[in-house]
């Protein structure tokens, strides 16, 4: 993967993500889900957002070592003035919603779908895992966005969770 084209100080590119808002009715797994969209320009204007990306919902590192740490440290993020915590992956919005429900994210972490990693790829933040049967995915990265301006962006240099993990992001807030 080459270096990301987005840098600290840049304005976040417009993005629209498929999303299923959590509601208590979803916990019975029989309720019809209502799809929605997150529009970064509209929904994140004036807000402090922590966005982290994983290559795939339910994949081992993402499922065990990445998302759960953000959930565990939710109160610490809120104490530092974060309005929105969101995870993005190339999975469809139904998979992302199922993963978020399985993890117990509820309204704490938004699970956003970047199908085909189109938005992430536009910033050189995608990875081709076709040889592993996964296709093009979002890379493992994290951003801090304040009123649509990127304040932190780091991409994992190797497998595992370091610069995109909850601890690293908290340290930069």
For residues 44 and 82, the answer to whether their CB atoms sit within 8 Å is no
Which two structure tokens, joined as six digits, stand for 49? 């957002």
- Catalytic residue (one of 12, 62, 150, 161): 62
Residue whose structure tokens are 């919902």: 57
Can 105 be counted among the known catalytic residues?
no
**Are the CB atoms for 112 and 87 separated by under 8 Å?**
yes
Distance from C-alpha of 1 to C-alpha of 17, rounded to nearest angstrom: 23
Can you tell me the distance from the alpha carbon of 141 to that of 4, in angstroms, rounded to the nearest whole number?
10
How many Å apart are CA 120 and CA 92, to the nearest integer? 14
Spatial CA neighbour of 173 closest among 63, 65, 83? 83
The residues annotated as belonging to the active site are 62
């Amino acid at each position: 993967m080459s270096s990301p084209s987005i840098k600290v100080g840049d304005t976040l590119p417009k993005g629209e993500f498929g999303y299923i808002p959590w509601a208590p009715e979803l916990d019975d797994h029989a309720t019809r889900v209502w799809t929605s969209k997150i529009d970064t320009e509209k929904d994140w204007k004036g807000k402090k957002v922590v966005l982290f990306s994983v290559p795939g919902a339910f994949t081992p590192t993402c499922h065990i070592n990445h998302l759960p740490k953000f959930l565990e440290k939710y109160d610490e993020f809120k104490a530092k003035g974060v309005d929105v915590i969101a995870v993005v992956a190339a999975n469809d919005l139904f998979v992302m919603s199922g993963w978020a429900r399985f993890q117990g994210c509820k309204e704490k972490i938004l699970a956003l779908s970047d199908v085909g990693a189109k938005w992430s790829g536009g910033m050189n933040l995608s990875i081709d895992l076709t040889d592993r049967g996964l296709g093009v995915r979002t890379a493992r990265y994290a951003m801090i966005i304040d009123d649509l301006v990127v304040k932190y962006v780091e991409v994992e240099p190797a497998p595992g969770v370091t610069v995109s993990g909850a601890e690293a992001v908290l340290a930069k807030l």
